[in-house]
Structure formats: C-alpha cells, structure tokens
Structure 1
C-alpha cells in the first residue's frame, strides 16, 4: 500500500502534466471517505480538475457492466467509474483497483463489449503502468 501511495504521488507530481485530467462525482465521493486528514489532502488535488457530467445512459451501462463482470454489490461504483470513462471517451481510467478494474481479463472482455456495442474502449490501468506510456 505504501508503494502504491508513493507511485501515485510520483505520477501526480511528475507525470500528470502529460495528460488532460478529469474527475467525477464518483471519484470525489470515494476521495472524501476514510481518514479526514487524508481525505482533505485528496480533495485538494481534485478541486482543480473539471468534473464530468453524469450521462443519462450511465444507469443502464452500469447495470450491464455489473452483470458482465459479475461485480459484487460493494463494487457498483467501479462500474460507475468505468461507465463514465466509456461514455466520456476517456483514453485512460487510472486506478489501483486491480481486482475489479485494472486487470487483463477485464480489458479483454471490455474490449469485446465495446466493439460489439460500438462504445469507446478506455485503457484501465494503474499509475505505475501509465508512467510508462507515452500519450
């Protein structure tokens, strides 16, 4: 966990300028949770980012993604993050959630789903992976 935090800080401080960054109400909601001091620090980073609108199609897409990836109820917000990235045609969805989002199985299945439904396919990856990519 500490190594993830360090990589996240490194990405934010040294690599974020290479990308156009956006946030959502879902990200802000998660960032506001947990330790109040840590939450306050996270929120400082997010306040400078434009917030994406929630498209009308998101509810149905979330339900489809939950069913497709067999996400447990506690992971419903993961479908929200993914759906927002798809509907807003984000190039990348940055996350440390490898269990439900940043993994090879999801990428393969998501790519097929997006092709079949003519939806945008975002690359879901960790900060560690994104540091290595050239946008």
Structure 2
C-alpha cells in the first residue's frame, strides 16, 4: 500500500501469519469470508487463498441474537452491524482472540467495554479483541 500506516499493518500481519499463527488454532467467520468475496479484486483472491484452509465459523441463531443485542444496547452502531456479527460469531464459539485492524468498531477500548457488558449480560465471555501487533508475543 502507498499509505504508510496500511503498509505497516500489512507487514505486521504478514509477520504474524509467518511466525505466530502456528501457536494458535485459527478460524475465520463466514462474516469475514463474505467481506472478502464482496470485492472482486486480485487482493481479495489472494486473501481467500491465504484463509482457504481455516475452519469456518458460521453465523447461527445464537450469534444473530447476540449481534442484535449489541446493536440494541448501542455497543455497536446499526450501520456497523457486520462488525457486531464478527464479534458475536467469535463470542458464541468461545474463541480466545479476535484479531483485527478495525480499530473503529472492534479493537477500540471504548467499544470493547460496551460490547463486553452486553456479552456478559447475555451470559457470554467476549474474546480478547486485539491487533496482530498486540498478539506478536514476547
């Protein structure tokens, strides 16, 4: 990327994928797959190739209900319902970490606090939401 921040994120992601991925059981949600295939670019094809062997977590009724609770509870804005679904799928599947560079609605301390309250009220423990950089290890 020509954007220096995006380029840095891409490099960190590449490094995480190459050096740390093997330390975790990795999954992808159908929500993310849908986002990838919505773009008919060469980059999207490369992304799909990279994730093709990951187990897919489907959006089920439990995840849909939690998504609605997040939006209804104003933890995630309605216009970002896909972000809420992403968190909900990870949460109902008891995923430990949700990696993302979406710091607006996912890896955002204020949002995480609100989402955590909704998840706890619904009887769930929310995964740790962080960037690949935060999960690089020591």
**TM exceeds 0.5?**
yes
CA distance in 1, matches of 2:67, 2:120: 17
What's the counterpart of residue 39 of structure 2? 34
Q: After TM superposition, give the deviation of residue 11 of structure 1 in Å.
A: 0.8
* 1:8-66 Cα distance to aligned partner (Å, 9 max, x none): 11111111001000112111111224361101110011110011132212222111112
Runs of 4+ off more than 4 Å: none
* More strand per residue: 2
Local SS of the residue matching 2:55: coil
The structure-2 alpha-carbon separation of the partners of 1:46 and 1:20, relative to structure 1 and needing over 3 Å to count, comes to: same
| 8 Å contact from structure 1 (residues 85, 93) kept in 2 | yes
TM-score (norm 1): 0.88
Structure 2 unaligned residues grouped into runs of 5+: 1-5
What's the counterpart of residue 130 of structure 1? 135
Aligned residues: 132
CA distance in 1, matches of 2:13, 2:37: 17
| 8 Å contact from structure 1 (residues 55, 87) kept in 2 | no
| 8 Å contact from structure 2 (residues 76, 105) kept in 1 | no
